[in-house]
A and B are shown apart, each in its own frame.
Chain A
Amino acid sequence: MGGASSVPGGRKVSPFNPANAVTASRFITLPLFISAVAHGQHQWATIWILICGVLDKLDGAVATIFNCKSQFGEVFDAIADGICYGTALVVIAYYGWAPLIPVVTMLGLGVANTVMRFLYGKRAGRVINYKSYAMERLVGLTAFLVGFATGGVAVTFMFWMYVPLNVIVILHDTKRMLLDPVPPPPVLAEVAA
């Protein structure tokens, strides 16, 4: 993890805080999920991805309770989303629980989104996370998609309907991150306001 990052108001927050600990704890569910899928245990696989999703929702609440929100935490959360759900998608596709083409498309678009976030950070010249409200919804849906695959819930339909939504959101976010002006740092924004 990197150094302390600032929050609005200029206060420094250590990266070793409760919210980031919750985010990191999501990685514990990954080997358990992979083991369940490898052993054909559909229900346990569903339980582990459900726990991963709950922890994803919990870290934001923990950050609010302990007052430790930071730019680093937001970026770390996005990275954890990518690693957890990306790995889960690869695993379920590998074991034939999900259609391959939509999964490959989703992963490709996920990588493109990560590259754009990196370029956005380069444009801004600081650690910054583009808050994509639409992508938040799609990430939530990705967790559900993995659950649909482990539970056998209309898998083909669910995965194929995700693809056009993903393409539309990526196109929107590409424009926002690469073409639109980068907002000023939070402290400067507060002064300007």
Chain B
Amino acid sequence: MTDPVLSPTVFKWVLTVLTMLGVFWVGLDFRYIYKLRGADMTIPENRDKRFAYVIGMAIAVCVTIGVLKYHGVV
């Protein structure tokens, strides 16, 4: 196995794209929590989902900040 496989610049952008795909996937929680409004919150599973979507949104925000730091934006 030889390393590096990609040039540092390409590798940096591959990582960024992969990370932002992950952020997009977790960011869908913004949509899910909107769809969950009005659901019966006495059901434990609904409460678990709402909690998880909030955590997902927090992850999406934090990782986006991390990627911006990686690129020296913040």
Task: Kindly identify, within residues 111 to 164 of chain A, every residue whose CB is under 8 Å from any CB belonging to chain B.
Answer: 131-134, 136-138, 140-141, 144, 147-148, 151, 153-154, 157-158, 161
B15, A153: Cβ atoms under 8 Å? yes
Q: A interface vs B, CB < 8 Å?
A: 36, 39-44, 46-47, 50, 131-134, 136-138, 140-141, 144, 147-148, 151, 153-154, 157-158, 161, 165, 168-169, 172, 176, 180
Counting from the closest, the 9 A-B pairs by CB-CB distance are: A133-B52, A41-B3, A134-B52, A154-B66, A154-B69, A151-B15, A134-B55, A161-B62, A154-B70
Verify A44–B58 contact, CB threshold 8 A.
no
Residues on B with C-beta less than 8 A from A137 are 26, 29, 52, 55-56, 59
A171 CB to nearest B CB, Å: 11
Known A-B contacts: A137-B26, A168-B55. Give 9 more (CB < 8 A). A43-B6, A44-B5, A47-B5, A134-B56, A137-B55, A153-B19, A161-B62, A165-B55, A176-B48
Q: With a CB–CB cut-off of 8 A, which chain A residues contact B63? A: 141, 144, 158
Once the chains bind, are A140 and B26 in contact (CB under 8 Å)? Answer: yes
- What residues of chain A lie closer than 8 Å to B39, measured between beta carbons? none
Q: Is the CB of A43 within 8 A of B44?
A: no
In the complex, residue of chain A having the shortest beta-carbon distance to the beta carbon of B49: A133
A61 smallest CB distance to B (angstroms): 14
How far, in angstroms, from A168 to B12 measured CA to CA in the complex? 31
- Tell me whether B41 is interfacial, beta carbon within 8 Å: no
Q: Chain A's nearest CB lies how many Å from the CB of B41? A: 14
Measured in the bound complex, the distance between the Cα atoms of B53 and A151 in whole Å is 27
Contact pick for B59, options A42, A47, A132, A165, CB 8 Å: A165
CA distance A141 to B59 in the complex (A): 8
Q: Is B38 an interface residue (CB 8 A)?
A: no
Q: State whether A154 touches B15 (Cβ < 8 A).
A: no
* Contact present for A161 and B66 (CB under 8 Å): yes
Closest to A152 in B: B70
| Residues of chain A lying within 8 A (CB to CB) of residue B5 | 43-44, 47
